[in-house]
Structure 1
Amino acid sequence: MGSLTRTAHAGFGLLLAAAAIVGVFGHSVPHARSSGPTVQLDQGTFLGNATANVTQFLGIPYAIPPVDTLRLTIPRANLPYNGTFNATAFGPSCPQQTSSIPATSLAVLAPFLGELSGLTGGSSTNVQSEDCLNLDVILPNDTPSEAKLPVVVWIYGGGFEDGELLNDDGGVIVQRSIDLGTPVIYVAMNYRLSAFGFLPGQEVKEAGVGNLGLQDQRLALRWVQKYIGAFGGDPDRVIIWGESAGAISVASQMITNGGDTEGLFHGAIMESGSPTPSGDIADEESQAVYDSIVDATGCTGAEDTLQCLRELPFSVLNDASNNTFGIDSFSSLNLAFQPRVDGIFFTEDPQQLVLDGQVADVPFITGDCSDEGTLFSLSSVNLTTDAEAEAYIQSTYFSTLSLDDLASVFQAYPSDPTVGSPFDTGSANVITPQFKRIAAIQGDLVFQAPRRFFLQQRSDKQKTWAFLSDRLKSTPLLGSFHSSDLLNAYGPGDLTDVIVNFANNLDPNGPTIIEWPNYSTDAPTLLTLLDGAVPQTLTNDTFRVDGMAALTNISLIAPI
């Protein structure tokens, strides 16, 4: 699930390059200056850099490096800072997962390569290291420490398998907040990914070291509480914001710990991500991932296989992580490395925690793009018949259920391309007879249905707003694809204003946004973002009711 970065496994290289369609990238690493802004944290002095209006402190370590004996362990807070730190360039990125599109799918896509130009790859451009638990703080120039500005904490996406701080320019958010006269401070953190951050297995569960990437995020939020005042931020006015895997992370922070935020945040924004149906970290499929890693690294015969993984050279474990998905086991949005029920961070399936009312009682905004599933369905275009498509959905997401158990889903999502995704495009964008059907099911299963479920459970209990991004609808084959809304948020665009407004007032409304009412079960209103002369309108969240209800019911029975 991605940040105009690479998203879930099917879209890693594709999504990074999809940004090139509309030119989101081009952020450059700032140059250090001979003299510049400083901030004092504990006994440490951090040297930052400033542009015309914005000051940046980059690569600040918030944890003891999770290396050597601390690999695959719960993160530990940084020691008190002491000395002088150069915070003028991005810190190392966490190790990134690699992926590829299956050759069988690439062969089918060959006739469409012209339309998919620029969607064929991308790679990390930053140094990668296990010692990657660092964060960035970006703020208006000359902000006094007593300013008490609201704080926006960004959590990037990338399918819990990749993601980098340099892909998303927080200076855009801060500059827009200055332009609006409602300044904010922007914070973004790295967190462990792939096998380093989301290794599943019974051994992991018994050791209490599941969901380490989410634990990293929680620790970074504690860092914000402790230190943000030195930058002029208000620890009592913190919102968390993420997209895709980052939005699922935001939702995860809302439902862990019985819904107790510990005062770490006071509002939440989720773009393309909600509490998702998640299975146990030690179920059969999850254990198979652990066992494959152990086997690939030569740790099979070890008395303590988890300890063996800790002691491996970095390259050995990293290679095993990267090779976990072979071409023949490509599984789209059912990821090898993702949050799972571990008994600590999640005591139950996240959607069951929502039903139990274990949700942080803070205002939140949540929304999706219209065609969430298209990008992830390019990897399954070798499937051309109803039987093949239905077997794919069953085996990939619901292997414990039969095809008969899924009949209501397949009935609600027929192979008729006029009702598939990209939605509302008629018979256009048909790569194969099943592409638009699979895209509709996958997009609703992982994104739209969990969002609606979350809103239905919580909108009458706390303040909520919901949106739908239907922009870039003319993108060939993909429509309003997953992460296209980030072009708006980091544009800047009207979603930027929503974020700034919400950070300041815990309400997204403002002078550039049409009157946007709270979502409720009686009035499920969406702020819908459109191309054309009328860019904002209000619609009702009543589309594909039968299909999403069927997906939600099945997911509660058989979490992914």
Structure 2
Amino acid sequence: MKLISVLNLGALLVASVTPSAISCPTTHHAAPIVYLSNGTYRGTYNQYYHQDLFLRMPYAEAPVNDLRLRIPQSLKSTWTGIRNATKYSPSCIGYGSDTWVLGNHVSEDCLSINVVRPAGLPERAKLPVAVWIHGGGWVNGGSSDPRYNLTFIVEQSVRKGMPIIAASMNYRLHAWGFLHSAELAAEGSTNLGYRDQRLALHWIKENIANFGGDSERITLWGNSAGAFSVGSQVVAYGGRDDKLFSAAILQSGSPLVFGLKPQTASTWEPYWNKLLHTTNCLVPEPVACLRRLPTNELSAILNSSFASPPSWGQVVDGDFIPESGRALLKKGKFAKVPLLMGTNFDEGTEFVSQGINTTSQFAEYVRSVGVAKQEVHSIEKLYSDNPAVGIPSTLKGRPEGHLAYLGQQYKRAAAFSGDVFQHAGRRLTTKSWAKQQIPVWSYHWNVLVENVSPAKGASHFQEVVFTFNNINGQGYDTVVSKSPLAGKPARLVKLADVMSTAWISFIVNHNPNSNGKSNLGACTCRLLTDYLTHSSIPHLATVSRAV
């Protein structure tokens, strides 16, 4: 991978609106209005942040009744008068803690978009746009999750002199969006959640100028399943460039399938057959039968333990995903846009199986994730049973005492797991971009945050709060999690400022280092700012530009 120096372009090269051009907050501010081709929306004005919010704007017909388990249909309805866009939509139906901590406020009628912008934009403003795709393992979550509050990143962009508009979307989850079978494939109803995202991107492309956004400068952005979603959009239709986005940010995800097993109709056949049996849809037209089931009845079955599904997410269908992500990358079949991509050092602690105590158990685990039997011995040699070289480094030695349940070979298995599920995809993706002479920046997160055990380390998802500049940890203090910035230690608050500024710089300039704060040398550079050379700031990793 050839590395070259990065030019400090300056933050205002592409930003059409500077903070001085944005009007100051006033005591009385009318609710914002936006005129779109389908009709007119009234948003809400947030005086504290001086922002306009437009929430729950549908981008598709509701996927209910006969539209259930079908490709999303563009919104056809129009209206006169003004519709309110002041409250979040229910999340799409899903199952997991990301959904139930928000009160299980879900619905099939969920395909909507939110837009947050600085208030007081001049007419004909053209701000760069960030489009966030939430994660949640393809099975839960939603754009209303307060951890993904777009207000903080928009506020930071104005503060840093690089104002942006931010948008987020809901997309169908679990079987509602990612069920697969030969019958569904025959009618083209595959990768529905990803097709939802694609239609949302078309809506944003067509409408964002009315909000003051630049339709030619749209950056996709996601973490975890959201990053895998971004990756799937990048390779969709064999890398066909529909000009829906001009750059992409992938945090802990890639264009590859999650793991080593590409999904096909045969992979899904056992789950599909059990679903039909459980729903009494073993009939000549099973898909039509599933569409007729009451929502609550089908949801209760999907949320039961009637069968274990394959991995949710990307399926090779010969259309939206014509070949495996790995094959598409190696053939150069992806959208040629600048990329900012990274993973967390201890990703494997999130995904590893617990209780691996012996080498034979380790070998069994290696086989279970899809490694060919003849390759297992090579894996055993590559990943030695030496805790000193396993992960996380924050856990010294082997798990003992109250951590014994993790297994004596936990650190060995976690190192392998991180490579399989995250780091391998990052490496292949960045190398593929470099081979095609496309700008790509790669980071490696290595920070132990507050409320995380040393046995977990710098694991999955922990960087998200920093990239949003969510320094108050909004949405994190729940029955299942605690704020990574509890007490707001200065070193972590500063890190949030550094990272969010870098992300904004990439959204604005498609270069994370052009924020006017760093003088980067050739070959290798510290991430984005000289702040990271200070001992008070935790080491994040190196970021380089490869072409």
TM-score between the two structures when normalised by the length of structure 2: 0.80
- 1:421 aligns with 391
Following superposition, the deviation at residue 502 of structure 1 comes to: 1.1
Bigger Cα displacement from structure 2, 505-514 vs 350-359 = 505-514
Partners of 2:357 and 2:194 in 1: CA distance? 38
Question: Which secondary structure state, in structure 2, belongs to the residue aligned with residue 405 of structure 1?
Answer: helix
Bigger Cα displacement from structure 2, 248-257 vs 272-281 = 272-281
2:59 is the counterpart of 1:62: yes
Following superposition, the deviation at residue 34 of structure 1 comes to: 11
Partners of 1:235 and 1:226 in 2: CA distance? 7
2:410 is the counterpart of 1:472: no
Following superposition, the deviation at residue 317 of structure 1 comes to: 2.2
Deviations 1:458-510 (A, max 9, x none): 12420010101111267312111100010211224222112211111111114
Following superposition, the deviation at residue 55 of structure 1 comes to: 1.0
2:536 is the counterpart of 1:533: yes
- Pick from 295, 312, 332: which aligns with 2:293? 312
Question: Which secondary structure state, in structure 2, belongs to the residue aligned with residue 138 of structure 1?
Answer: strand
Partners of 1:142 and 1:46 in 2: CA distance? 17
- 1:437 aligns with 412
Q: 1:154 to 1:43 in 2, by over 3 A?
A: closer
One-letter identity of the residue aligned with 1:313: P
2:104 is the counterpart of 1:134: no
Partners of 1:179 and 1:142 in 2: CA distance? 15
- Pick from 382, 402, 420: which aligns with 1:412? 382
- 1:16 aligns with none
Deviations 1:290-329 (A, max 9, x none): 22222221212x1021221112111232223223576xx5
Partners of 2:328 and 2:85 in 1: CA distance? 39
Following superposition, the deviation at residue 177 of structure 1 comes to: 0.6
Deviations 1:392-429 (A, max 9, x none): 3312434xx32x32222222123322222213643165
Following superposition, the deviation at residue 189 of structure 1 comes to: 0.5
Partners of 2:534 and 2:315 in 1: CA distance? 37
2:72 is the counterpart of 1:94: no
Bigger Cα displacement from structure 2, 246-255 vs 142-151 = 142-151
Q: 1:466 to 1:526 in 2, by over 3 A?
A: farther
One-letter identity of the residue aligned with 2:289: C
Q: 1:190 to 1:485 in 2, by over 3 A?
A: same
Q: 1:539 to 1:152 in 2, by over 3 A?
A: closer
- 1:343 aligns with 318
**Preserved CA contact (<8 Å) 1:276 1:446:** no
Question: Which secondary structure state, in structure 2, belongs to the residue aligned with residue 389 of structure 1?
Answer: helix
- 2:46 aligns with 51
Deviations 1:227-278 (A, max 9, x none): 1111001101111011011111111111112322211000011000012146
2:356 is the counterpart of 1:358: no
Partners of 1:97 and 1:199 in 2: CA distance? 14
Following superposition, the deviation at residue 42 of structure 1 comes to: 2.4
- 2:482 aligns with none
**Preserved CA contact (<8 Å) 2:175 2:302:** yes
Structure 2: state its 5+ residue gaps: 1-27, 471-495
Question: Which secondary structure state, in structure 1, belongs to the residue aligned with residue 441 of structure 2?
Answer: strand
Following superposition, the deviation at residue 540 of structure 1 comes to: 8.2
**Preserved CA contact (<8 Å) 1:200 1:289:** no
Question: Which secondary structure state, in structure 1, belongs to the residue aligned with residue 527 of structure 2?
Answer: strand
**Preserved CA contact (<8 Å) 2:502 2:515:** no
Partners of 2:287 and 2:99 in 1: CA distance? 33
2:368 is the counterpart of 1:392: no
Following superposition, the deviation at residue 191 of structure 1 comes to: 0.5
Following superposition, the deviation at residue 284 of structure 1 comes to: 3.6
Q: 1:517 to 1:126 in 2, by over 3 A?
A: farther
Q: 1:124 to 1:396 in 2, by over 3 A?
A: farther
Q: 1:153-168 maps to which residues of 2 (within 5 A)?
A: 153-167=131-145, 168=148
Give the fraction of aligned pairs with identical amino acids, expressed as a percent: 33
2:281 is the counterpart of 1:299: yes
Following superposition, the deviation at residue 223 of structure 1 comes to: 0.2
**Preserved CA contact (<8 Å) 2:116 2:166:** yes
Bigger Cα displacement from structure 2, 60-69 vs 499-508 = 499-508
- 2:167 aligns with 187
TM-score between the two structures when normalised by the length of structure 1: 0.79
Bigger Cα displacement from structure 2, 531-540 vs 36-45 = 531-540
**Preserved CA contact (<8 Å) 1:54 1:139:** yes
- 1:30 aligns with none
**Preserved CA contact (<8 Å) 2:505 2:515:** no
One-letter identity of the residue aligned with 2:85: A
One-letter identity of the residue aligned with 1:252: S
Deviations 1:143-179 (A, max 9, x none): 2341011100001111111121122110011100110
- RMSD over aligned CA atoms reads 2.7
2:103 is the counterpart of 1:125: yes
Q: 1:493-512 maps to which residues of 2 (within 5 A)?
A: 493=496, 494-511=498-515
Following superposition, the deviation at residue 128 of structure 1 comes to: 0.3
One-letter identity of the residue aligned with 1:125: G
Bigger Cα displacement from structure 2, 471-480 vs 192-201 = 471-480
Following superposition, the deviation at residue 391 of structure 1 comes to: 1.1
Following superposition, the deviation at residue 526 of structure 1 comes to: 7.2
One-letter identity of the residue aligned with 1:131: D
- Pick from 136, 140, 144: which aligns with 2:122? 144
Partners of 1:314 and 1:480 in 2: CA distance? 40
Question: Which secondary structure state, in structure 2, belongs to the residue aligned with residue 293 of structure 1?
Answer: helix
Bigger Cα displacement from structure 2, 55-64 vs 498-507 = 498-507
